[in-house]
């Protein structure tokens, strides 16, 4: 059969070959005019043929730029670009033009003839009004070939030829950077700034790469001349070095030199850049930068900038500075009602953040009417949660009394839970449903409902105290209280699930006996709770770098509780523990 198949294919192949032969032969000779033929040969990869075709065209017209560029492509791809030197010389002699000079520079560079490059650049410069252009092209070609010394010579020659110290400074800065001399680069970038402020972005990006050991000197090179350009540059570079505090100080010095009416563009760029840094220090620098920017604005834009500054200060925990900004807005007649309301809202946030709940309540009472009804309700609930966190359940309850929104019911349910009124909490959580609050809040509420569901008593103040401790951030106290409550309840009536919760809290705070607690719950045999404990154990063992034990645990979970809703998650974790999927 194999022989038969081969014979058949040989026949078919021969037929195909015969049919294709005339077309194949025709295809060897591209149709069209000479330049199209040359292009076609080049496209097919017949570089020798294409080069010959381009040369034939040049024999008729030595300055045919299309043919010269085609010849350059073919010879460059073959590593033989130096072979076209005669053609380039002839072309230059017959019709010198900038494009030809540039081509000559490329060919000379490819042929490794730096002296000839200089000659071409000088001849070209003699014909140019913009005299640095040829020197820039010469240097750029050497830079591409990583000939840093040659590039420096070219740019310096250009600077000397033009006779101005700032000429080609951006190019020389790049050379210095590639040589690893960022101090010299900084000096050149300063010159480039004088030439055009448009170089600021490139300068910042370049100097950002300076190694740590050179940074102090770079900073001095920029800042010590005590010029606004250098100080501004230094401020922006400091941000790239993750030094927002140093940056804002340099910005302040630059703006002082510029004066009270100028420098808004610099301050704007600084605040835009510092926003990208996520640290507290950066938020503080943002606040200061915005405050400086606000001084350079007037009317409503100034008030809006101060409001932004207040928010940044608040996020940085600089409550005093935030209040200072908000006070300025309050005393600013240019700030309209909307802006004043936003300022009051920010003040409320600041007060909440610093735990000054009585002040926040007063702000809400005094300025609440300025807010839309929905915002006012949301602020009231935030205040209620704040009171809850401080264990002031009466105040919290008073704020949500009569609130029949799902968000209000959710907060009321949590207050009931903290008082240990489990029946009321269950009912309020049920009424709040799954859509109140954020997704995380809804998930947490559902988890709490699942936790107290099996507890068959309506009131359990000791459990409420455990949750109050948790609200206050006292995890140790919460775990102790949960242990006591769990120990007093039958495992199937909430004892096991509360013990699991205590174990999860212990693991979350890195407690040493988290694993022991989880194993104890897993051994309880209460189906849903034990399965959840086994999954938690699997996670813990993976996190502890004990994948083999995690695999055994998860296999036990999957085989023991085949109907558990946790199985998809368990299998995924099993894959991770085995290294079958990436740990993302």
Partner 1 sequence: MKRRAFVSAMAAAAVWPRVRPARWGAADFLLVPMDEAQADHLKAYGVAYRVLGRQGRAEWFLNYRNGSFLLPADAGTVRDAALAGVTALPVAAAEVDRIRGELAGTNADAVPLEKAPRVAVYVPPGTPPWDDAVTMALNYAGIPFEKVWDAEVVGGRLPAYDWLHLHHEDFTGQYSKFYLTYAGAPWLREMVDLNTRMARQLGFPDVPAAKKGVAARVRGFVDRGGFLFAMCTATETLDLALAAHDVDIAASYADGTPMAADAAARLDWSRALAFQGAALETSPTVAQFSDIDGHQVNAPGRRQPLGAFTLFEFSAKIDPVNTMLVQGHRQVIPDFYGLTTSFRRARLKPGVTVLADEPGAPWVKYIHGELGQGTWTFFGGHDPEDPQHSIGDPPTDLSLHPHSPGYRLILNNVLFPAAKKKELKT
Looking at the Cβ atoms of 9 and 435, the one nearer to partner 1 is 9
Query: 421 — phi, psi (to 5°)?
Result: -90, 85
Contacts of residues 268-272 at CB distance under 8 Å and 24 or more positions apart, as own/partner, are: 268/293, 269/200, 269/236, 270/235, 270/236, 270/239
Q: Which residues contact 346 (CB under 8 A, 6 or more apart)?
A: 307, 310, 311, 314, 322, 326
Which member of 558, 564, 566, 577 binds partner 1 (CB under 8 A)?
Answer: 558
Do residues 156 and 172 touch, judged by C-beta distance below 8 A? yes
Question: What is the contact mask toward partner 1 in residues 53 to 92, using x (rule: CB under 8 A)?
Answer: ------------------------xxxx------------
Q: Which residues contact 284 (CB under 8 A, 6 or more apart)?
A: 244, 245, 312, 313, 316, 318
Interface region with partner 1, contact rule CB under 8 A, candidates 185-193, 211-219, 345-353, 568-576: 568-576
In the complex, the smallest distance separating the C-beta of residue 35 from partner 1, rounded to whole angstroms, is 19
Instruction: Return the axis-axis angle of helices 406-418 and 422-432, rounded to nearest 10°.
Output: 160
Which member of 7, 12, 27, 56 binds partner 1 (CB under 8 A)?
Answer: 12
Question: What is the contact mask toward partner 1 in residues 25 to 54, using x (rule: CB under 8 A)?
Answer: -------------------xxxxx------
Interface region with partner 1, contact rule CB under 8 A, candidates 253-261, 451-459, 537-545, 560-568: 560-568
In the complex, the smallest distance separating the C-beta of residue 64 from partner 1, rounded to whole angstroms, is 23
Q: In whole angstroms, what is the distance from residue 500 CA to residue 517 CA?
A: 8
Looking at the Cβ atoms of 365 and 580, the one nearer to partner 1 is 580
Q: In whole angstroms, what is the distance from residue 108 CA to residue 81 CA?
A: 9
Q: How many residues bind partner 1 (CB under 8 A)?
A: 31
Written in H, E and C, the secondary structure of 209-262 is CCCHHHHHHHHHHHHCCCCHHHHHHHHHHHHHCCCHHHHHHHHHHHHHHHCCCC
584 binds partner 1 (CB under 8 A): yes
563 binds partner 1 (CB under 8 A): no
Distances (CA, A) of 260 to 18, 257, 363, 523: 87, 9, 34, 72
Looking at the Cβ atoms of 163 and 579, the one nearer to partner 1 is 579
145 binds partner 1 (CB under 8 A): no
582 binds partner 1 (CB under 8 A): yes
Q: In whole angstroms, what is the distance from residue 475 CA to residue 2 CA?
A: 78
Looking at the Cβ atoms of 75 and 277, the one nearer to partner 1 is 75
Residues in the chain: 584
575 binds partner 1 (CB under 8 A): yes
543 binds partner 1 (CB under 8 A): no
Looking at the Cβ atoms of 477 and 547, the one nearer to partner 1 is 547
In the complex, the smallest distance separating the C-beta of residue 527 from partner 1, rounded to whole angstroms, is 17
510 binds partner 1 (CB under 8 A): no
2 binds partner 1 (CB under 8 A): yes
Three-state DSSP class for residue 421: strand
Three-state DSSP class for residue 459: strand
Looking at the Cβ atoms of 12 and 95, the one nearer to partner 1 is 12
Looking at the Cβ atoms of 473 and 563, the one nearer to partner 1 is 563
211 binds partner 1 (CB under 8 A): no
Do residues 120 and 108 touch, judged by C-beta distance below 8 A? yes
9 binds partner 1 (CB under 8 A): yes
Which member of 145, 398, 430, 572 binds partner 1 (CB under 8 A)?
Answer: 572
Residue 140 is encoded by which pair of tokens? 């750029």
Site for partner 1, rule CB under 8 A: 1-2, 9, 12-13, 16, 44-48, 77-80, 555, 558-559, 562, 567-568, 571-572, 574-575, 578-582, 584
């Amino acid at each position: 059969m194999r022989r038969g198949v081969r014979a058949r294919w040989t026949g078919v192949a021969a037929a195909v070959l015969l049919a294709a032969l005339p077309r194949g032969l025709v295809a060897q000779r591209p149709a069209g005019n000479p330049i199209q033929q040359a292009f076609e040969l080049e496209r097919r990869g017949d570089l020798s043929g294409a080069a010959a075709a381009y040369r034939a065209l040049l024999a008729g017209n030595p300055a045919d730029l299309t043919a010269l560029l085609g010849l350059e492509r073919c010879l460059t791809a073959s590593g033989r670009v130096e072979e076209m030197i005669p053609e380039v010389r002839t072309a230059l002699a017959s019709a010198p033009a900038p494009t030809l000079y540039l081509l000559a520079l490329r060919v000379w560079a490819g042929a490794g003839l730096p002296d000839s490059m200089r000659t071409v650049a000088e001849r070209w410069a003699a014909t140019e009004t913009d005299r640095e252009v040829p020197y820039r092209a010469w240097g750029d070609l050497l830079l591409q070939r990583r000939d840093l010394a040659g590039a420096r010579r070219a740019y310096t020659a250009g600077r000397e030829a033009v006779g101005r110290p700032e000429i080609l400074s951006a190019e020389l800065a790049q050379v210095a950077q590639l040589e690893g001399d960022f101090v010299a680069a900084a000096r050149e970038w300063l010159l480039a700034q004088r030439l055009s402020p448009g170089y600021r972005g490139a300068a910042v990006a370049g100097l950002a790469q300076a190694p740590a050991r050179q940074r102090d000197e770079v900073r001095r090179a920029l800042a010590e001349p005590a010029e606004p350009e250098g100080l501004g540059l230094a401020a922006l570079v400091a941000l790239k070095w993750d030094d927002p505090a140093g940056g804002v100080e340099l910005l302040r010095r630059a703006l002082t030199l510029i004066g009270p009416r100028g420098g808004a563009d610099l301050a704007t760029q600084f605040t835009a850049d510092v926003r990208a840094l996520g640290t507290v220090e950066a938020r503080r620098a943002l606040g200061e930068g915005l405050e400086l920017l606000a001084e350079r604005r007037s009317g409503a834009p100034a008030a809006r900038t101060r409001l932004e500054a207040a928010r940044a200060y608040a996020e940085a925990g600089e409550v005093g500075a935030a209040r200072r900004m908000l006070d300025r807005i309050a005393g600013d007649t240019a700030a309209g009602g909307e802006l004043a309301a936003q300022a009051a809202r920010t003040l409320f946030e600041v007060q909440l953040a610093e735990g000054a709940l009585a002040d926040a309540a007063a702000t809400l009472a005094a300025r609440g009417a300025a807010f839309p009804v929905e915002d006012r309700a949301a602020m009231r609930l935030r205040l209620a949660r704040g009171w809850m966190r401080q264990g002031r359940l009466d105040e919290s309850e008073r704020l949500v009394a009569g609130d029949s929104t799902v968000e209000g019911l959710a907060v009321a349910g949590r207050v009931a839970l903290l008082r240990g009124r489990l029946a009321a909490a269950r009912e309020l959580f049920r009424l709040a449903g799954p859509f109140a609050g954020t997704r995380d809040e809804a998930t947490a509420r559902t988890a709490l409902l699942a936790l107290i569901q099996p507890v068959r008593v309506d009131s359990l103040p000791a459990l409420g105290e455990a949750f109050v401790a948790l609200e206050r951030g006292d995890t140790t106290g919460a775990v102790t209280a949960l242990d006591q409550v769990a120990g007093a309840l039958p495992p199937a009536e909430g004892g096991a699930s509360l013990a699991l919760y205590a174990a999860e809290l212990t693991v979350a705070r890195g407690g040493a006996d988290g694993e022991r607690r989880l194993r104890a719950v897993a051994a309880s045999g209460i189906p849903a709770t034990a399965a959840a404990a086994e999954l938690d154990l699997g996670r813990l063992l993976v996190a502890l770098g004990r994948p083999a034990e995690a695999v055994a645990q998860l296999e036990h979970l999957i085989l023991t509780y085949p109907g558990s809703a946790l199985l998809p998650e368990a299998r995924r974790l099993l894959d991770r523990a085995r290294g079958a999927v990436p740990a993302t």
